[in-house]
Amino acid sequence: MEILGLPLIYYGAMILKVLVAFVFVLLTVAYATYAERKIIGHMQVRIGPNRTGPIGLLQPIADGLKLFFKEEIIPAEASKFAFVLAPLVALITAFISFAVIPFGDTIEVMGYKVPLQIAAYADQTGTVFDLNIGVLYILAMASLGVYGIVLAGWSSNSKYSLLGGLRASAQMISYELAAGLAIVCVFMVSQSLSLQAIVADQAGLFGWYIFRNPFLFVAGILFFICSLAEINRTPFDLPEAETELVSGFCTEYSSMKYAMFFMAEYANMVTVCAVTTTLFLGGWHGPLPSVLNFIAKVYVLMFICIWIRATYPRYRYDQLMKLGWKVFLPLTLFLIMGNAFWITLFQK
Amino acid sequence: METLFFSLVAAIAIISSILVITNKNPINSALSLIMTFFCLATLYVMLEAHFMAAIQIIVYAGAIMVLIVFVIMLLNLKSESGGRTNHALFLGVMTGVLLLIQTWYLLWRSSLTGTKGVVDSALIAKVGHTELIGKSLYTEFLLPFEITSVLLLVAIIGAVILSKKKL
């Protein structure tokens, strides 16, 4: 039985790939919450969760079950459609970026090549095709992510939610710009928008884009910081600053809808770390088998995210805007210029 | 299969664009407009114009519409209450009918020759859509492209001057 010249087993392998990758990301998201509480606990000389299961390992499952059985409350004055839509948008846009991230080298199943990237396939000759605008796709999905938060803030019909939503949209637009410009530095070196090509170009330790030249090094760090701001992580978590805004845009949410925002937040963290790994840290290249390299790099970046959260206090709002528009934006423009000069002078 | 998918996307696009003007709640209108843009992006993907699709979402759905939603939220616009005024309805219908006549006239007068351009799906698969657009923007359409960028610069400076009275 064949479809488009490829046997059915090939399609089975492709579907299995998608399922395994998705379940793995879901598990990572669930255990990121546990890791965060545990790591921050130890950093602050506490123990962290340790009651549910051995050393608290069942905590994420217990949390999920608890939230699942909570009563669902929709405020009487809320606009229902947008209120229900918002957590869905947040969750889907957080996960969907993963479709284009290559998490491993192409493997062979029964003589057919299977690229380890969800939105990619190989034809009969073994040439791998992936979305040739992969990076733009990630940027597009990241820019849609803001709607989840904005809609949540607006539809709840509460002061705190609205302020949280407004803050989030202003912040995300500001930092999206700098993050996008930092990625331009990558395009200039890779000369391709396809993530397969970008990863293939980074073979070897000094092939990693972050080690290519000083401008790319700064661009990589800048991209990571801007991404932290875009996904509202500390020190940029003003949309849910609990000292001023209760819990910002998700104040009025309860039960599974709240859990979805929570999952979206951690899924965003995983995605951002995966994107940074792919664009700047050589993707799946490294000493271990390809997938393990990728996972190790993503986990190190996630640890850094958590570490930052345990270390830094929150920015003030005017500082945040000043940093985005008056420091990061000119800096990225300068990096693009510098990168262009470096490429023409040294890499001809 | 492709025709079926196209009809589905086109139907959603038309329904959501009708919802843009019939919705009384400004945010719901904006949401419908985003849906329309999304459907347009899907149609671009079906035409193998991947770059256009991504830019459509980044620029329209991701930037312009976020600004519009932001302004609606900031001004806290409520659902419009009063009925539509008669002269607005009249003008709208008139414009619609005029546009329809114009489109029909043009379609009727000019003959569809069916000549195809040089760019087809084989070329896009070989060279890449982004590369094709980049090449034609920087060779064939260099002057219009540069003029557009100057225009945008003027608009940016204008916005700064308008919003900052004391410079």
Q: How far is B50 from chain A (nearest CA, A)?
A: 7
Q: How far is A150 from chain B (nearest CA, A)?
A: 8
**A164 to chain B: which residues are within 8 Å by CB?**
none
So what's the pLDDT on residue B82? 61
In the predicted structure, residue B148 carries a pLDDT above the cut 90: yes
In the structure encoding, which two tokens stand for residue A139, read together?
């940027």
Inter-chain contact B70–A169, Cβ cutoff 8 Å?
A: yes
Query: What angle do helix axes B65-75 and A134-155 make, rounded to 10 degrees?
Result: 10
Burial class of residue A321 (count of CB atoms within 10 Å of its CB; 0-12, 13-18, 19+): middle
Reported ipTM: the value is: 0.77
> How many other C-beta atoms can be found within 10 angstroms of the C-beta atom of residue A120?
22
CA distance A53 to A345: 59
According to DSSP, the residues that pair with A130 across neighbouring strands are A120
pLDDT 10s per residue in chain A (348 long)?
566 666 777 778 788 888 888 898 888 888 888 888 888 888 888 888 888 878 888 888 888 888 888 888 777 777 778 888 888 888 888 888 888 888 878 777 767 777 777 777 777 676 777 777 888 888 888 888 888 888 888 887 777 888 888 888 888 888 888 888 888 888 888 888 888 888 888 877 777 888 888 888 899 899 999 888 888 887 887 777 666 777 777 777 777 888 888 888 888 889 889 989 888 888 788 787 778 888 888 999 999 989 988 888 888 888 888 888 889 999 999 999 998 888 888 875
Q: Mark which residues 53-72 of B lie under 8 Å from A by CB.
A: 53-55, 57-58, 61-63, 66-67, 69-70
Q: What residue type is assigned to position A39 of the chain?
A: I
Average pLDDT over residues B26-34: 85
pLDDT band at B117 (very low <50, low <70, confident <90, very high): confident
Q: Mark which residues 79-118 of A lie under 8 Å from B by CB.
A: 79, 81-82, 85
Query: Looking at the domain assignment, is residue A265 inside a domain?
Result: yes
Query: Looking at the domain assignment, is residue A2 inside a domain?
Result: no
pTM of the entire structure?
A: 0.84
**B54 to chain A: which residues are within 8 Å by CB?**
133, 136-137, 139-140
- The dihedral built from the CA positions of residue B110, B113, B117 and B120, taken in this order, carries a sign that is positive
CA–centroid distance for A113 within its chain: 27
Residue of A nearest to B61 (CA): A144
Average pLDDT over residues B22-41: 86
Sequence ranges of the domains in chain B: 1-79, 120-167
CA distance A83 to A30: 24
The residue with greater pLDDT, A116 or B146, is B146
CA distance B124 to A128: 16
**B31 to chain A: which residues are within 8 Å by CB?**
82, 85, 151
B42, B51, B70: which to substitute to probe chain A, counting the most A Cβ within 10 Å?
B70
The residue with greater pLDDT, B113 or A273, is A273
**A154 to chain B: which residues are within 8 Å by CB?**
27, 69, 73
CA distance A192 to A253: 42
Q: How far is A133 from chain B (nearest CA, A)?
A: 6
Going from the C-alpha of A327 to that of each of A116, A175, B63, the distances in angstroms are 38, 11, 21
In the structure encoding, which two tokens stand for residue B12, read together?
């959603």
Query: Looking at the domain assignment, is residue A195 inside a domain?
Result: yes
- A132, A137, A147 ranked by CB distance to B130: nearest: A132
Pairs from A235-239 (Cβ < 8 Å, separation ≥ 24): A235/A308, A235/A312, A235/A313, A235/A314, A235/A315, A236/A171, A236/A175, A236/A314, A236/A315, A236/A320, A237/A314, A238/A167, A238/A171, A238/A314, A238/A315, A238/A317, A238/A320, A239/A149, A239/A153, A239/A164, A239/A165, A239/A167, A239/A168, A239/A171
Inter-chain contact B54–A153, Cβ cutoff 8 Å?
A: no
Task: Name the fold adopted by B1-79.
Answer: Four Helix Bundle (Hemerythrin (Met), subunit A) (1.20.120)
Q: What residue type is assigned to position A339 of the chain?
A: N
So what's the pLDDT on residue A257? 83
Inter-chain contact B62–A166, Cβ cutoff 8 Å?
A: no
What is the three-class DSSP state of A100? helix
So what's the pLDDT on residue B84? 62
In this structure, chain A runs to a length of 348
* pLDDT per position as a tens digit, B49-103: 888 888 888 888 888 888 888 888 777 766 666 666 677 788 888 999 999 999 8
Q: What residue type is assigned to position A15 of the chain?
A: I
Report the candidate in A107, A142, A139, A132 with the shortest Cα–Cα distance to residue A190. A132
Residue of A nearest to B62 (CA): A143
Number of domains in chain A: 1
Domain of A271 in residue numbering reads as 74-102+131-346
So what's the pLDDT on residue A14? 80
pLDDT band at B151 (very low <50, low <70, confident <90, very high): very high
In percent, how much of chain B has pLDDT > 90? Answer: 19
Residue A52 near chain B (CB below 8 Å): no
In the structure encoding, which two tokens stand for residue B67, read together?
């600004």
